[in-house]
Structures are given as structure tokens and as C-alpha cells.
Structure 1
């Protein structure tokens, strides 16, 4: 029995995961990760790292982060408490959707996740206070491979649903894209 419905997005390889919840009067059970089922969606590596974040204030933006090859990573992103607008930007060299983005509302209530393949930048904006997120990564974090896009870059034109209330100096310090940006070669 499948516990996931894999829903395509306009960006090839970026999938929304609809989790099946099995519930009764006590509550529910929801599978967060299944290597067998997600292999069909492109997840081919073991989980190398799991991260948990807490963000206190609605309107906060975290992102747009990615790692450069050979440390590029796939991510399975879930919201455990609250609600976010989760967004991924295609950075793959030669992709027909290069520099296009797609956003999805992820919440504790809807139980959705976003499966983000290698070669995408990722970030989110909190739509409620006290948000907790869980990330499964296919590769460990490597500081020297870390890269990011500026979440306020007019070239990306990310349509953040709320005014940005908080943005870290690191995230706001990512440079704006210029014509020399070639993307990520996987």
C-alpha cells in the first residue's frame, strides 16, 4: 500500500508529496520517509543528514540555499508545526525551466512535503508564528560547498506572500544574479 502520492509541479523533478494519514480516534500515523517509494521519485541516496528548524515570527524568510557539486543535495522538506510557503528555484544548467521557481504551502495540517532534487535552491517564508520544519538531506552539509541566491533578487521575482519581517544578514547578503550566472552543472 502506497503511503505517498507523488504530484508533479511545473519544474521537472520537483515533486509535491501528499502523505496518506492513517487515523482513528487516537490520532494518526503518517510516514515521513520511505526509500522504496521515494526511489521512484528520484531519491536514490540514503539520508545523510536530518535537520530541524524553529522559526518564531510569521513573515520570516529563510533561503535561498543550495550546495555546489559534488556536494549537491536532494531535500525532502516537511512542516511539522505551523504553515510555510516553501519555494524551490531550478538552477540546473540546460534545464528548460532554468531560474524558474515553484512554491507550495506546507503545513502541519495538510501534511504535504516538497521533494527538491539536486540543482535547486530552496527557501521558505513562515505564514504563521512558531513554525517547525524537518529536512531530510541526501548529502551532508559542507561549508565550502554552500551557496545561495538573494531571496529579494528582482530577477527571480519570488512572490513572497507576506511582507518580509526577518531575513538573516547571511541570506540578505547573497549577491543578486547577473548575466554571468551559469547555474549548477550536475
Structure 2
């Protein structure tokens, strides 16, 4: 866009909007979304309130809408990535985290969602689908090995098994702690 162009010009004939700006609502106007191409994709990621409410973006013509919130479909949240990336990196004692390792994580998340069945209201796994985490850890660990960043080698299958065991053990420990009332369940009222 030329300097000093109104922001709404950027929406004309656009296919995708990725916004991570200031909390809304109404930071992004419905009228702007309606200028986008048919079946547009809108990521309104500001928290705690997205730049535009998902139902307003849909009403304005967006086909797929994602936010940073768990109470709407398609939550885009870094918590879906970081624990598993760190699990894979730590398990192979990698010296760094490369862009390629992050991309491997993204592809594994996408494969998981594809296998579950992509829909307008399901483009990424939810954070409750813990089975994605060992897969991401395995993909990251293998990429670290391939790139020569790992101090320990592994295969996808070995890391998948290792990460699954560690995550299941952690989940079991938390379950036991909650059952014995050693800590209060933050989701209980």
C-alpha cells in the first residue's frame, strides 16, 4: 500500500488476515472483512478479546476464523507448540532450536489436524488433544538429529514412544495429586 493509505484498502481482495494487534472488539471492522475475497481466512489473535468477534467475521464473509481464545473454535495458542518443542529438544540434548525444527513442529501439528478431519471449525488441534505433543516432540527431535544439533540420536518412533511415556506419566501424577486433593483443580468451581 502507498504511504498514508487507509487500512481498509489492505483488505480489498485479500484471502487471509493475520492480526495480532490490540484487544478488540471492533479493532477490525466487519466492513473491512466484507472487502476480502470469498471464503477468506481471518486470524484475530489479540487477547483477551479478539480484534473482531468470530461470529462477526463469519457474518461479514470469512469462511474460517481463528482466535487466541479457547472458548471459540480454532484456538491459535503458543502452548500448542512450546511444550512439545522443548520436549524434543531436551530429549536429544539439542544445542539450539532452528527455524527448520519449528517448521517441523508446525507440519506435525497440521498432519495431526488433517488426520482428525479438517473443518471450518477445526484447523488445529485443541490443547486438550495431548496426543499431538509426543508427535511434535518426535518431529522436532528428528529434525535436530538431521541438522546435526543433537548430542543424542533418536528415531521418530523412539522419540514418539519416549515422549508419550513422559507425558502420560506427568498426566497420571497430576491426576493422582488432584484425586488426593493435594492441590485444588483450577477448573472446579
> Smaller-chain TM-score range?
under 0.3
Larger radius of gyration: 2
Q: Taking structure 1 as the reference length, what is the TM-score of the superposition?
A: 0.22
How high is the TM-score relative to the length of structure 2?
0.22
Higher normalized contact order (CA 8 Å, seq sep 6+, divided by chain length): 1
Would you tell me which structure has more strand in proportion to its own residues? 1
Q: Which has the higher helix share?
A: 2
